[in-house]
Each structure stands twice: as C-alpha cells, then as structure tokens.
Structure 1
Amino acid sequence: MLKRILNISLAYVGVVIGAGLSSGQDLMQYFVSFGKWGIIGTIVLGIISVVFGKIIITLGSYYRSNDHFEVLSQIAGPITNKILDIALIISCFVVGFVMIAGAGSNLNQQFGLPFWAGGLICAALVILVSFLDFDKITSVLGIFTPLVFVMIIIIAFYTFIGKSFDFEELEAISATIPSPMPNVWVSLLNYFALTAMTGVSMAFVLGGSIMRIGVAEKSGLLGGFVVSIIITVATCILYANVKLVSTVDIPMLAIAEQIHPVFSLVYALTIFGLIFNTAFSLFYALAKRFSSDKPKRFYPILIGAVVIGYGLSFMGFKSLVSVMYPLLGYIGFLMLFILAIAWVKERSNIKGEKHLRRKMIQLITKKYDDNQEYTKGDREEFHQLGEDSIVDTQSIKSDIKDLVKEKFNDNTR
C-alpha cells in the first residue's frame, strides 16, 4: 500500500510541476516579480495545493474515472460541465505544446541543440511511452520527481549556506521582471488554478486507477505537500539569484551551471524529464477524453495532437508562458470552485463508499484465503455492496476481485 501511495503521489507531482516550475520560468513571472511578498504567496499556495491534491485524487478514485469528463458529468451541471470540459480540452492541448516548447528551450540552453530538435525528441517520447501499459506509465511519470526534489535542495544549500544578500537590490531587480498579474494574491490563485487546469485531467485518471479511497486521499495529500515544498524552495532560490536569472528562459538551469558542469548536465536532463512528464500527461488525457467510447481512436488522436502541438511550439516558450498561462488560470477559477463544492457535497458519500469498498475487499479476501470460509451469505453481501456502490456493479466487483487476486499472487511469489 505504501508503495502505491508513493507511486501515485510522485506521478501527481510529476504531472503538476512540469516545465515552468522545474525550469523556474513561471515562478519568475508569478512570484519572484513580487519580491518578498511573492515568497509569502508561495506559502499560502502550498496550503491550497495540499488541500486540492487530496480532493482531486480522491474524486478520481471515488468515481473510478478514466477521463475528466466522467468526474465533471457527476459534479457539475450540464452547462458548467460543458464549459469546463471544453476548457480542459483546450488547456491540455495548449499547455501540451508549451511543454514541447520548453523541451526545445531546455536542450538549446544546455547543449546548444537546435530548438526544433529538442521539441522533436520530447514529442517522439510522448508517442512512444503511450504504448506502455498504465502501471508502467505511472512509474515513468514518477521517475524524475525524487531527482528534482533532491537537486533543488542541493541548489538551495549552494544558494544560502554562508552567503549574505542585499535585499534592497533583490527587491529592485525583482520589480523589473514583468508579471502578467496585478498583485501577488491574484497571482497565487491564478497560478494554482492553472496547475489545476493542467493537472486535473491526468490526476483524475491517476485517482481512477486507485480502488482504495484511503490510498487516494493519502496520495493526494503527499503529492500536494511535495509540490508545495518544491514551489516555495525554488521561489526562494530564484529570488536570491534574481540578478543572474532575470533574463534567461530556464532560470534554474542558469543557477545549476554555477555549481558544476556535471550537476548542470544532470539538472538539464531532469528538467527535460519533467517537461516530458507534463507533456505526456496532457496529451494522454486529451486522447483519453476523445476516445473513451472508441478506444481504437486513442493512438490516432494522441499522435495527431502531438504532431500539431509540435508545430505550434515554435511560438516560443517564454512568450507562451506569459500569454497562455494567465488566461488558463482565470478559467481555472471556475474549476476550483466546482471541485470545492463537489467535495463539500460528496464528503459523506465518499466516506460511505470508502467503507463499502473496504468491506467488499474483506469479503472477497475470504474466497482466496485458505484459512477463511467464503459463505453464501458473504457472496450475497458482496453482491449487494456492489449494487450499492457509486460505480457500475459488475465493474466494481470485477476490479476488487482482481485487486485481491493480485495481492495473493504477489504474496505467493
């Protein structure tokens, strides 16, 4: 269970932090531009991130969603549902090609690789990895999260240990950084709404892969907590180094280059991995949305979207962040409001479903455990609980049986 929690939470972090956070570009525009108040803003953002991390992953698990539409159709009215569905489709595609642009900028800044080549490598990887099964995909999404966490801590030690700072100078330089937001409070809300818009589609899919709602809750909390730490520490690093990084496309990479060439190389590859994480998650979720009724359409849709996204990525990473991110963030306000209302309304039902599934697992475990007797009464109760579940009866019964059988097979190996 612990392994499952870690896998999902790390995958969630990989989906959310993406190119902008790990590169530092969106943090520069959203937080560093407001100086010390921007750092305070990231702390508030961290609290919001933990709360909504739990809400999003748990709702995905509760409804056992394969795409965002399955959740939205349950928690929003027809008109609102349609608006959010269209907004999420647009955000998946737009931020997807922004990530491809980020890949081009990243490899260009570190290796001098032509912009088109870096984006092409990222686009090709998105298509290739989509052919793996979902458990392997989840593992891939979580690979780079521990790396970036450790590397940001290393950069933090390099930045702050034994050094002093002229805060008046830092404030003055920070004030010269253009921000798309009027103040830090609108900025932090817009930024989190943006992360919700870009991450919620794949987060629902991640949550939908979890049968145990308790596991989903813990995964969301842990994922949101890790995101909050990375955002706050990275913003502090960028603020302290603002004189160095105020004009570059990939600010964190510029700082890494000051530490050691090898460290810079590893960090560049890690950023690329996180860019890929987000790009893949967005295009994957987009293709899932349009192929839910016809699975055979999944790969043609995904490949077509990636190819078009690659072409649009030539608009440039930094300019795309400054224009597209705020717009999507404002649309995301509606998403956060709907999610919060759904959580309040469904809390008791989620709690009931959580106990229902736990009981179903306990009952069917008897069937596969030689030391327990699986009675006719147990079978009837198992079926009745399946009838009472929010999920389709045959689906929930089959999935729980598979979960328990897998557990017993693992124990006998």
Structure 2
Amino acid sequence: MESNNSFKIASIYIGTVIGAGFASGQEIMQFFTKYGIRGLYGILVASVLFSLIGSFILLKVYRHRIQSYEQLLRPALGSVIGRLVEGLLSLLLLSGYCIMLAGSGALFQQQFGLSKAYGILFMSLITFIIFLFSIRGLAWINTVVVPILFMGIIGISTWVISHWGLTLSNEVGSSFNSYTGNWMTSALLYVSYNSIGATVVMCSLLPLINSSKAAWEGGIMGGLGLGLLAMFLLIPTLIFYTDIHGMEIPMMAIATKVGSPIKIGYGILLWLAMLTTAIADGFVLIQSIEKRMPRYHVLNCLIFCMAAIPLANLGFKNLVNTLYPAFGYIGIGVALLLLFRR
C-alpha cells in the first residue's frame, strides 16, 4: 500500500511540474539548452533540489497534518506576510493554469492548423469536467499519464540519438538573457518556480500520505523522475538547437523530423502533460476558493475555467518567458522565509 501511495504521490509531483513548458521543451530551451552541454550540470543540480524539496515538504505535510498551503504558510510567516504570500501563490496557480491553456492553443495551431481558440477551449472544458471529481481525478489522471509520458519522451530522445548521434549544434551556448545569468542561476530559478507551485499542490495530498516512508519516497522518486525527463529533453534540443530556436513547441519540431506518426503521438503526449499540470494548479486554487464558498463547487469550477481563458490568449511563449523567471525569484524568497522562520 505504501509503495502504491509513493508512486501516486511521485506521479502527482511529476505531473504538476511537467506541463506545457516542460514537455514542449520550451522550459528546457529557456533555462538549460542555451548553455550548451553545461545545461546538463544545471539539470543535475535541479534534480537533486527537486528531490530534497519534495521530500521535505511531503514529510512536513504528513507530520503536521497539513491540508492546505495556508496551513503551511501562516505558522511559518505570520498572518500579514502569510496573507501576502498566499495572494502571490494564488496568482502563481492562476498563471500556471493559463500557461497550460495557452500551450494547448499553440499545440492545436502548430499540430493541426486550427485556431488557438479551439485548443484553449477544449483544455478548459476537459479540466472543468475533471475538477468536478476533486482529488480522485487528480490522482487517477497522473498515475495513468505520467508513465506514458516517460515512455514517449525517452523513446523519442533515444530515436534522435540513434539516428543523428550526439553532435551538438550549441556546444558553446548562447548569450545570457536579462533574467538568468548562468546555468546555476537558471537551475535555481527553474527549481524555485516549479517547486513553489508543486509545494502548493503537495499541501493538498495528505489523504494520500499514509506514512513517512510514502512521503520521502514520493519526493525522491518525483525529483529523480523530473531530472531524468529533463535530461532526455535536453539532449535532442541540443542536437537540433539551431533548427528549433525561437519555436513555441521545440519538441514538436523535433518529432516532425522523426516522422509524421511520431509527431502525432508526441502531440497527444504533450497535450496530456499540459492537462496534468492544469488540473493540479486549478485543483488547489479551486480548493482555496471553496473555503469561502463551500456550497458552490460546480459554479466555482465553471467561473475559474472561464476567467482563465482571456489570460491564456496572451500566448504560450510570452507567458513562459515572462512569468516563469519572475515567479522564480518570488519562489526563492518564499523558500528562504519558510526555511528560516518558524
């Protein structure tokens, strides 16, 4: 039973982080690929940090019987700072959900030649249906989708390596941008952004954490799994960097080079990855809303999904480039507060 719960917890952890930015290759391009082979060092650092942070938070949730991120923040930060951080985290969750909707729109346009609006509306509809089933839907979708994502990402990366070799088009790396100064800074920002969102989700997993072993195993498995997936995304983006630089969905462009069936298959995998993160972000934010409006579950889900649609129309790449680094810095601040204040 414990091992099953560990896998469920790890799957939700991975599914929360892996979303549109990760599985599309856009996050890997922005935070790691541009540094060439040195991006691998950043991924190794990120994997260790993901494992440590995941285990720490899940153990804290289990030992202190934490059921929401408010219960984690208030005792550590106090009422005033806690409320401020809660507001920032709510904005983080909303922006994360919008990025997944925008990613779905970009995918529909690039993969099927359809309007972005169709992809955004379809994702919004599916997430609304799953939100109605609360944590059962969250757990089920991740335990089914995450293993499929592993097979798909590792499979396409292995295919690329076997056919094109390990000749890297970006060995030296490109110039640093204004947000991330080097591969270490990128790794820290990447982990801080994603882990603060994952922490919020993990605070809602107490019903699944039936032992301390399940907690730390789930954190370690989740962190190592994220590192492994990131590595298998980094390698093909390094090989094809000059061809895919500037594209909204780099891995889809790589899948196109492999062949039409692979392109279609990866498009489905990518959409499922977006779905898991959208569900995780939306699930926690809706839970927070329902503490104030507990009797209106269906209405809360509907309003949340509809309100996110206009923001999603800002565009996938624009949202990733702007919000991810910004919330990375916020994540570092929140993490430091949690570590040094009781």
TM-score normalised by length of structure 2: 0.93
Partner SS, residue 230 of structure 1: helix
* CA displacement, residues 27-57 of structure 1 (integer Å, 9 cap, x when unaligned): 1111111222222111111111111111122
The CA distance in 2 between the partners of 1:151 and 1:176, in whole Å, is: 31
User: 1:159–1:303: structure 2 CA closer, same or farther, 3 Å change rule?
Assistant: same
Q: How does 1:226-237 map to 2 (within 5 A)?
A: 226-237=225-236
What is the DSSP-based 3-state SS (H/G/I as helix, E as strand, rest coil) of the residue aligned with 1:65?
A: coil
Counterpart of 1:78? 79
Structure 1 position 119 matched with structure 2 position 105: no
Structure 2 unaligned segments of length 5 or more: list them. none
Question: Secondary structure of the residue that 2:19 maps to in structure 1?
Answer: helix
Q: Deviations over 1:308-338 (max 9, x none)?
A: 1111111110011111111111100022224
Question: In the alignment, which residue of structure 1 is the partner of 2:316?
Answer: 317
Q: What is the alpha-carbon distance in structure 1 between the residues aligned to residue 59 and residue 90 of structure 2?
A: 21
- Does residue 145 in structure 1 map to residue 128 in structure 2? no
Separation in 1 of the partners of 2:92 and 2:49?
21
What does residue range 389-400 of structure 1 map to in structure 2 within 5 Å?
none
CA drift of 1:164 comes to: 4.1
**Structure 1 counterpart SS, 2:257:** helix
Alignment-derived partner of residue 243 in structure 2: 244
Following TM superposition, by how much is the alpha carbon of 1:249 offset from its aligned partner in structure 2, in angstroms?
A: 0.8
1:78 CA drift (Å): 2.6
Cα contact 1:7–1:142 (8 A) shared by 2: yes
Higher Cα radius of gyration: 1
Residue 289 of structure 2 contacts residue 300 of structure 2 at CA under 8 Å; is this kept in 1?
yes
Structure 2 vs 1, CA of residues 271 and 68 (structure 1 numbering), >3 Å: closer, same or farther? same
Q: Please tell me whether the aligned partners of residues 100 and 274 of structure 2 are also in contact (alpha carbons under 8 angstroms).
A: yes
Is the contact made by 2:55 and 2:219 (CA closer than 8 Å) also made in structure 1?
Answer: yes
Matching residue of 1:170: 170
AA partner of residue 186 (structure 2): S
Change (3 A) 1:177 1:313: farther
User: What is the aligned length?
Assistant: 341
Letter in structure 2 aligned against 1:69: E
2:62 aligned with 1:52, yes or no? no
The aligned residue for residue 392 of structure 1 is: none
Q: CA deviation at 1:294?
A: 4.1
Greater RCO between the two (CA within 8 Å, min separation 6)?
2
Structure 1 residue 233: deviation in Å?
Answer: 2.2
Question: Separation in 2 of the partners of 1:259 and 1:336?
Answer: 41
Q: Secondary structure at the match of 2:210?
A: coil
Unmatched 5+ stretches in structure 1:
346-413
Q: Is the CA contact (8 Å cut-off) linking 2:7 and 2:218 kept in structure 1?
A: yes
Which structure 2 residues correspond to residues 10-49 of structure 1 after superposition, within 5 A? 10-49=11-50
The 1:212/1:166 distance shift into structure 2, 3 A limit, reads closer
Tell me the amino acid that sits aligned with residue 309 of structure 1.
A
- CA–CA separation in structure 1 for the residues paired with 2:65 and 2:252: 39
Q: 1:136 to 1:282 in 2, by over 3 A?
A: closer
Q: CA 1:179–1:150 in structure 2 vs 1: closer, same or farther (change >3 Å)?
A: farther
Residue aligning to 2:156: 155
Q: Is the 8 A contact 2:46 2:191 kept in 1?
A: yes
| Equivalent-residue separation in structure 1 for 2:96 and 2:137 (angstroms) | 23
Aligned mates of 1:83, 1:185 — CA distance in 2: 28
- Which amino acid letter does the alignment assign opposite residue 171 of structure 1? E
Could you tell me how far apart the structure 2 residues matched to 1:189 and 1:300 are? 38
Give, in angstroms, the shift of residue 281 of structure 1: 1.2
In structure 1, the residue matched to 2:271 is 272
- The verdict on how the C-alpha distance between 1:156 and 1:179 changes in structure 2, with shifts beyond 3 A counting, is farther
Whether the 8 Å CA contact 1:61–1:210 is kept in 2: the answer is yes
Deviations 1:277-299 (CA, angstroms, capped at 9, x unpaired) = 11121111111112225421443
Equivalent AA in structure 2 for residue 23 of structure 1? S
Distance (whole Å) between structure 1 residues aligned to residue 226 and residue 270 of structure 2: 15
Aligned counterpart, 1:201:
200
What residue in structure 2 maps to residue 98 of structure 1? 99
- Post-superposition Cα deviations, 1:62-109, rounded to whole Å, max 9, x if no partner, equal 333332112212333333322321111110011211111011111221
- Opposite residue 146 of structure 1, the aligned amino acid is P
Provide the rounded CA distance (Å) in 1 between the counterparts of 2:95 and 2:126.
18
Equivalent position of 1:410 in the other structure: none
Q: Percent identity?
A: 23
Tell me the distance in 2 between the aligned counterparts of 1:76 and 1:213.
Answer: 25
Q: Please state how far the C-alpha of 1:176 moved relative to its aligned partner.
A: 6.4
Residue 196 of structure 1 contacts residue 336 of structure 1 at CA under 8 Å; is this kept in 2? no
Cα distance, 1:187–1:114 mapped onto 2, change above 3 Å: same
Hey, what's the Cα distance between the residues in 1 that align with 2:177 and 2:262?
29
What CA RMSD, in Å, does the superposition of the two structures yield over aligned residues? 2.1
Per mean C-alpha deviation after superposition, the further-off stretch among 273-282 and 128-137 is 128-137
Q: Which amino acid aligns with 1:39?
A: L
Q: How far apart, in 1, do the equivalents of 2:178 and 2:23 lie? A: 18
Using the TM superposition, give the Cα deviation of residue 237 of structure 1 relative to its aligned residue in structure 2, in angstroms. 2.1
Q: In the aligned structure 2, how far is the partner of 1:177 from the partner of 1:28? A: 12
* Structure 1 residue 341 displacement after superposition: 4.4
Task: Provide the secondary structure at the position in 2 that maps to 1:175.
Answer: coil
Report the 3-state secondary structure (helix = DSSP H, G, I; strand = E; otherwise coil) of the residue aligned with 1:302: helix
Query: Displacement, 1:171?
Result: 3.3
The residue aligned with 2:188 is: 189
SS in 1 for 2:67: coil
- In the alignment, residue 192 of structure 1 is paired with which amino acid? V
Q: Distance in 2 between matches of 1:95 and 1:162?
A: 35
SS of 1:158's equivalent?
Answer: helix
